[in-house]
Amino acid sequence: MVDKGGKEPLETISLLIEGAGSGRDADLLKAKIWSLEGVKELNLDMESRQADVTFDPSRTSEKEIIRSISETGMTCSMAKVKERSTWWKEKQQLALYGCGIITFFSFILMFLGVGPSITNALFGIAVLVGVYYPARKAIIALINLTPTIHLLMLIGASGAILLGMWYEAAILIFVYSLGDVLESYAVDKARGAIRSLTELVPKKALVRKDGHEVIMPTEDIDVGDMVIVRPGERIPVDGKVFQGMSFVDQAAVTGESIPVQKNVGDEVFAGTINQNGSMEVRVDRTASETMLSKIICSVEEAQSKRTSYQRFSDDFARWYTPAMFALGVAVATIPPLFFGADWHTFILRGLVVFVVSCSCGLALSVPVAVVAAMANAAQNGTVYKGGAYLEVVDEVKAIAFDKTGTLTIGRPEVSDILVYSDITEEELMDLVGSIESRSSHPLAAAIVRKAKEINAFSGKEVKDFQEISGMGVSASADGKQYLVGNARLQQDKGVLLNEYRESIEGLESKGKTVVLVGSEGHLLGLIAITDTVRPGAKDALQRLKDMGIVTVMLTGDNERSAKMIAQQVGADRYYSQLLPLEKVELIKELRAEFGTVAMVGDGINDAPAMAVSDVGIAMGAAGTDIAIETGDIVLMSDDLSKLDYLIRLSTKAITIIRQNIWISLINISFMVVAALLGYLGLVTGLLLNEASAVFVIFNALRLLKWSKTTDASVAVSSDREPSASGGAAN
C-alpha cells in the first residue's frame, strides 16, 4: 500500500540539469525522478534545463534526488533552493531596486547640501544600474527601426543627461522600470488565473494495476485504467465511478457551489474534489483530453478572437508611437532652427513629448481586461471561446431558448401509453422501443427506457431506419413500414388522425409531447411523454427580463405543449412546430427585429440555429463534447442562472474597457498639450503617464475578482430548489 496522505510540509527544490539535450533525456529524467518514493510534483523545463521537484522530506531527500539523476549520466546542480523564484529575486527587479535606492540616497545627500559633483555622479550610477533592461529592449527596437516606447524612453533619459538634468534622468529610469514591472505583474496575474486551472489536476494518481496500487504520473494514465480517489483528494482524471460513492465538489469544472452526489456509473471530472467517500474511477479520457483541459484550451484560443476595442488599441499604438516620435523631434528642432527660439527649452519640451508617449496603458489594459473576464468566467463554469463574445453578450437584446434539453431537463419520461389497434401495450412498446433504440433523440431514449422497464423490449430487427429531422423517424419491422413521430409527420404520410384528435389535444394541453405510431394509413397508438421544466428556469428568465432582455422559446414540439411550457417558464414569446431549418429562419428574423440575439441550446439539432445567432450559448451538461464544440460560450453546469451572470460580467468588462480607453486618451491629450506649451516637466510627465497606465491595468484586473453579487441590484433568490417536477411520476 502506498500512503499519499503524509502530513509533512512539502519541500520544493529547483535543479539545473547538465548534459541533457533531447526529449529522450527528458523522458529518462522524468522516469527516474518519479520512481522515487515521496516525489509529489515534477516540472521539467528542457529549455532552461531546470527541474522543479516537490517532495515529502520524510520519505526522500535532496541527496536522493540528485543521486538518482546522476545515475542517468546527467549531472545537476542546485539552481535555487526551495521556494520557486520569487519575484524579488528576478534580476530586472534587482536593477529596479538598485536604481531606486541609489536615487533616493543621492536625493538625501542633495538636501543635506552635498555638492552636485557627488550627487550627479550618484544619479549617473543609478541610471547605469537601472537602464540595462529598458536599453536592451530599446536597442532591439532600434535595430528593427521601430520607434517603440522603450526607445522613446531611452532617448528621453539620454537627452536629460545631455542637458545636465541628472536627477530627472535617474527618476525617469526608475519610474519607467517600476511601471514596466507593475504592468508585467498585472499581465502575469491575469494569464496566471487561467493557467492556475491546469494546476487543479494532481500531477500523480493512485492507479490499480494487476492487483497492485501504484502511483503514476497523471499524464501517463490510459483510458480504461482504474484510479483510486480518496476523500479530500482532487480527482486526477475524467471517468466513471466504478466502485464506491461520494460527494464531489465540481466547482472547478461546472462552477456549481454545491457538491454533487456520485454513485456507481456517474461521470466525474479531473480537477474536481472528492469530498467524503473513497471511489474507484474508470478512466474515460487521457489527461490532455479532459473537460478541464478543453476549457483551458478554449480560453487560451479565445485570445485570438479579439474585441473591436483590442483592434482599436492596436491600431492606435501603431500610429501613436511614430507620431509622437515625429512630434518630439519637430518640437525640439523646428522652433530653434527656424524661429530662433532657445535650444535648451525646446529640446526639453521635445523630450517631455517623448516621455509622455511612453505609455502602454492603453495597449495593455484591453487584453488584460479580456483575459481577466474570461478567467472569471472559467472559474464560474462558463467558457468564452473568444474575447469578441464579451462585446456581443454585452449588446444582447433577445435570447432564444431551445425547449427540449434547455428549458426542460431533457430527460423526458413516458407518462401515458394508449393503444388504438388489436395489439397489446407490450407489443406496441416492443415495436416502438426497438425502432427508437436507433435514434439519439431524448424522446427516443425515454421510450426505450420505458419499454425496458415494463419488460416489453426484445430488440426486434429493424430495417430502413430513417430520421426525419424535427418530426420523428420511420423504419420497417416484421415486413411493415412504421412512422413514429409527431402529428405533422403522420399527416404528411397519410395517416388519419381525425377520430383521435381529442385525446391527442387533451394530452398536449397538459404540456405533454405526444409521439404517434402509425402504419399503413392507420394510427396504432400513441405514447405521451412529459419533460420536467428545469428548476430555476423561471427565475433565470425573470432575471433576464428584469434586465430588459426579451426571452423567446423555440421548439419542434406541438403548439399546445409549447404554450404550456412557455407559460411555466415565463417566456415572452414562443414558436412551436419548427423544423431545424425553420429555427434558423426564425433566428434571422429575431436578429432583424432586435439586433443582437443569443441562442441557447444543447447542440442536439439546434446547432444550425446557434450558428446563425450572434452568440451561441451551449448547455454543457458537464460533459457533452458537442456542446463544447458548437457553442461560442459554454455553460458547463447546464445552469440557466449563469446567463445573467454572463451578461453582467460582459457588461462590466466592456464598461471597464471603455473607461480605460477614455482615461488613457484624455490623459494622453492632456499631457501632450501641456508638454507642447511647456507646462509639464520631465518627471511630472512621466509620473502622470505611468500612474495612468498602472491605474488602467489594475482597473482591468478588477475583473478577476468581480462577482455578480458585488454589482447585482437584483438579489439572487435562494428558494428555487424544489418547485417543479410534480406530475412526472409513473
> Which residue among 377, 388, 443, 654 contacts ligand ADP (CB under 6 A)?
443
- Residues 686 and 176: beta-carbon distance below 8 Å: yes
From the list 33-41, 167-175, 262-270, 469-477, the region that binds ligand ADP by CB under 6 A is 469-477
Q: Does residue 513 interact with ligand ADP by CB under 6 A?
A: yes
- Which amino acid, residue 192? G
From the list 234-242, 353-361, 440-448, 492-500, the region that binds ligand ADP by CB under 6 A is 440-448
Q: Does residue 471 interact with ligand ADP by CB under 6 A?
A: yes
Nearest to 602 by CA among 631, 575, 574: 631
Q: Which three cell numbers stand for residue 52?
A: 522543479
**Residues in a beta bridge with 485:** 472, 516
Q: Which three cell numbers stand for residue 126?
A: 543609478
CA distances from 181 to 171, 187, 289, 505, 700 (A): 15, 10, 36, 70, 16
Q: How far is the CB of 588 from Mg ion (least distance, A)?
A: 19
E strands, 269-345, are 273-274, 279-285
Q: Does residue 493 interact with ligand ADP by CB under 6 A?
A: no
Q: Does residue 556 interact with ligand ADP by CB under 6 A?
A: yes
- Residues 347 and 331: beta-carbon distance below 8 Å: no
Measured from the CB atom, the residue of 402 and 614 that comes closer to ligand ADP is 402
Residues 587-606 that bind ligand ADP (CB under 6 A): 605
Q: Does residue 470 interact with ligand ADP by CB under 6 A?
A: yes
Measured from the CB atom, the residue of 174 and 401 that comes closer to ligand ADP is 401
437 Cα distance to chain centroid: 36
Residue nearest to ligand ADP (CB): 556
- Residues 556 and 608: beta-carbon distance below 8 Å: no
Q: Does residue 569 interact with ligand ADP by CB under 6 A?
A: no
Number of residues this chain uses to bind ligand ADP (CB under 6 A): 21
What DSSP string describes 623-646? T-HHHHHH-SEEETT--TTHHHHH
Q: Does residue 576 interact with ligand ADP by CB under 6 A?
A: no
Q: Which does 119 bind (CB under 5 to 8 A by kind): Mg ion, ligand ADP, none?
A: none
> Which residue among 287, 383, 444, 541 contacts ligand ADP (CB under 6 A)?
444
Measured from the CB atom, the residue of 402 and 638 that comes closer to Mg ion is 402
Measured from the CB atom, the residue of 227 and 540 that comes closer to Mg ion is 540
Measured from the CB atom, the residue of 404 and 692 that comes closer to ligand ADP is 404
Q: Which does 443 bind (CB under 5 to 8 A by kind): ligand ADP, Mg ion, none?
A: ligand ADP
What DSSP string describes 182-249? HHHHHHHHHHHHHHHHHTTS-SEEEEEETTEEEEEEGGG--TT-EEEE-TTPBP-SEEEEEE--EEEE
Q: Which does 513 bind (CB under 5 to 8 A by kind): Mg ion, ligand ADP, none?
A: ligand ADP
Q: Does residue 555 interact with ligand ADP by CB under 6 A?
A: yes
Q: How far is the CB of 605 from ligand ADP (least distance, A)?
A: 5
Q: Does residue 441 interact with ligand ADP by CB under 6 A?
A: yes
* 3-class state of residue 283 by DSSP: strand
Measured from the CB atom, the residue of 376 and 408 that comes closer to Mg ion is 408
Which stretches of 234-290 are DSSP H helices?
Answer: 251-254
Residues 1-20 that bind ligand ADP (CB under 6 A): none
Q: Which does 96 bind (CB under 5 to 8 A by kind): Mg ion, ligand ADP, none?
A: none
- Residues 392 and 615: beta-carbon distance below 8 Å: yes
From the list 68-76, 124-132, 401-409, 517-525, the region that binds ligand ADP by CB under 6 A is 401-409
CA distances from 590 to 43, 318, 584, 617, 662 (A): 51, 38, 10, 16, 33
Nearest to 15 by CA among 71, 59, 80: 80
From the list 94-102, 193-201, 384-392, 550-558, the region that binds ligand ADP by CB under 6 A is 550-558
Cα separation, 682 vs 328, whole angstroms: 13
Q: How far is the CB of 529 from ligand ADP (least distance, A)?
A: 9
CA distances from 68 to 4, 36, 54, 316 (A): 21, 8, 15, 55
Q: How far is the CB of 452 from ligand ADP (least distance, A)?
A: 16
Q: Which does 515 bind (CB under 5 to 8 A by kind): Mg ion, ligand ADP, none?
A: ligand ADP
- Residues 149 and 160: beta-carbon distance below 8 Å: no
Q: Which does 561 bind (CB under 5 to 8 A by kind): ligand ADP, Mg ion, none?
A: none
From the list 157-165, 329-337, 418-426, 483-491, the region that binds ligand ADP by CB under 6 A is 483-491
Q: How far is the CB of 513 from ligand ADP (least distance, A)?
A: 5
- Residues 36 and 64: beta-carbon distance below 8 Å: yes
Q: Check if 402 is active-site.
A: yes
* 3-class state of residue 599 by DSSP: strand
Q: Does residue 557 interact with ligand ADP by CB under 6 A?
A: yes
Q: Which of 25, 238, 394, 402 is catalytic?
A: 402
Q: Which does 616 bind (CB under 5 to 8 A by kind): ligand ADP, Mg ion, none?
A: none
Residue ranges binding Mg ion (CB under 5 A): 402, 404
SS3 content of the chain, % helix, strand, coil (to 5): 50, 20, 30
Cα separation, 345 vs 349, whole angstroms: 6
Cell 436507433 appears where?
438
Q: Does residue 404 interact with ligand ADP by CB under 6 A?
A: yes
Q: Does residue 485 interact with ligand ADP by CB under 6 A?
A: yes
Catalytic residues: 402
Instruction: Kindly list the residues in this chain that would bind ligand ADP in the complex (CB under 6 A).
Output: 402-404, 436, 439, 441, 443-444, 470-473, 484-486, 513, 515, 555-557, 605
